[in-house]
């Protein structure tokens, strides 16, 4: 039924909280008044997918790991299964893609933020020994972490747990209400829009994504490698993968992004920003 995204700094206790959340769901679903729901609970994460910490030290391997996570979530999320995505989920663009999967299926979602101070996460990571991240990778992932923002639709509803506060327990009743009791927004509500507004949105979606692709192709003509490429319509920059990106590859990414967002309109002034984030995950 719902999708629950865990997020937080490295070694912030996401997996511990995910396991706790699974136990709480299973206990409540076992109660007589909830057995009729016939829901199962599944954790999808690095352990299940066989992803080691070292993967996050190499951009291409990390990209493959994200692809495996998205595929697994897409395969499992349904109206009969509660999916807990227990992966780093530290980039906004990845959480946005997971959000799109939930909307396409027509189910609910929420984000659980395991908030912890850098010093506390660093100490806990060190205490884990070989099970933790090496120092360089921990610092790199922590520096890249993008905290969730409950005002964005892909990060809401947002539940924040202060990990170093022993009295801050999982707000399970709130999570249950948000993802089980609440009715999911229809995946195709955009079809109710006025034709003029829909036509304008699709035009802007096409224009903004095409401008981003044009900027990438134009930059490659010079033959001078660029690590972070500025593009029209946003302050976000495309992280070039260190190789030539083909037109067919860019068109394929654009078609997938357009498919995800055709029926669920984005804010027009955010299209370029989100497309750049999408490319940064998938290139």
Q: What is the pLDDT of residue 186?
A: 56
Q: What is the mean pLDDT of the chain?
A: 86
pLDDT in tens, 95-107: 988 998 888 888 8
pTM, full prediction = 0.69
Sole residue written with tokens 């499992």:
76
* Domain ranges within the chain, ordered by starting residue: 3-181, 189-282
Reduced to 3 states, what is the DSSP secondary structure of residue 184?
Answer: coil
Q: Is 95 helix (H, G, I), strand (E, B) or coil?
A: helix
| Per-residue DSSP letter, 32 | G
**Of the candidate ranges 21-25, 133-137, 185-189, 263-267, the one whose mean pLDDT is the lowest:** 185-189
Mean pLDDT calculated for residue range 124-143: 93
Tokens of 263: 């029926």
Highest averaged pLDDT of the listed ranges 28-37, 90-99, 117-126, 204-213:
117-126
C-alpha span between 198 and 186 (Å, rounded): 17
| H-assigned helices in the chain | 14-29, 46-49, 59-76, 92-105, 118-127, 135-144, 172-176, 195-221, 247-261, 271-282
Residue with tokens 């829901």: 39
The highest-level CATH class for domain 3-181 is: alpha beta
Q: In this model, does residue 196 exceed pLDDT 50?
A: no
Taking each helix axis from N to C end, the angle separating 135-144 and 118-127, rounded to the nearest 10 degrees, works out to 150
Could you give the percent of the chain with pLDDT greater than 90? 37
* Nearest residue to 253 (alpha-carbon basis) of 277, 223, 229, 228: 277
């Amino acid at each position: 039924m719902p999708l629950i995204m865990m997020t937080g700094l490295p070694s912030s206790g996401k997996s511990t909280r995910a396991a706790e959340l699974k136990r709480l769901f299973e206990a409540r679903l076992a109660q007589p008044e909830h057995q009729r729901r016939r829901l199962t609970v599944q954790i999808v994460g690095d352990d299940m997918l066989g992803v080691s910490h070292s993967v996050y030290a190499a951009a291409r391997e990390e990209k493959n790991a994200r692809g495996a996570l998205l595929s697994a979530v897409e395969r499992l999320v349904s109206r009969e299964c509660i999916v807990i995505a227990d992966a780093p989920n530290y980039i906004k663009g990845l959480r946005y893609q997971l959000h799109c999967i939930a909307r396409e299926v027509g189910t609910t979602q929420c984000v659980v933020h395991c908030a912890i101070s850098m010093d506390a996460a660093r100490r806990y990571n060190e205490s884990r020994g070989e099970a933790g991240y090496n120092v360089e990778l921990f610092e790199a992932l922590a520096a890249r972490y993008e905290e969730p923002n409950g005002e964005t639709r892909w990060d809401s509803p947002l539940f924040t747990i202060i990990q170093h506060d022993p009295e801050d327990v999982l707000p399970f009743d709130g999570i249950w209400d948000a993802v089980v009791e609440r009715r999911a927004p229809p995946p195709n509500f955009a079809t109710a829009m006025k034709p003029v507004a829909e036509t304008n949105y699709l035009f802007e979606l096409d224009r903004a994504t095409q401008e981003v692709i044009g900027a990438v192709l134009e930059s490659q003509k010079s033959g001078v490698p660029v690590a972070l490429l500025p593009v029209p319509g946003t302050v976000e920059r495309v992280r070039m993968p260190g190789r030539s990106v083909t037109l067919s590859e860019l068109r394929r990414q654009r078609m997938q992004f357009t498919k995800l967002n055709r029926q669920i309109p984005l804010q027009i002034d955010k299209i370029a920003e989100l497309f750049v984030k999408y490319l940064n995950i998938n290139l």
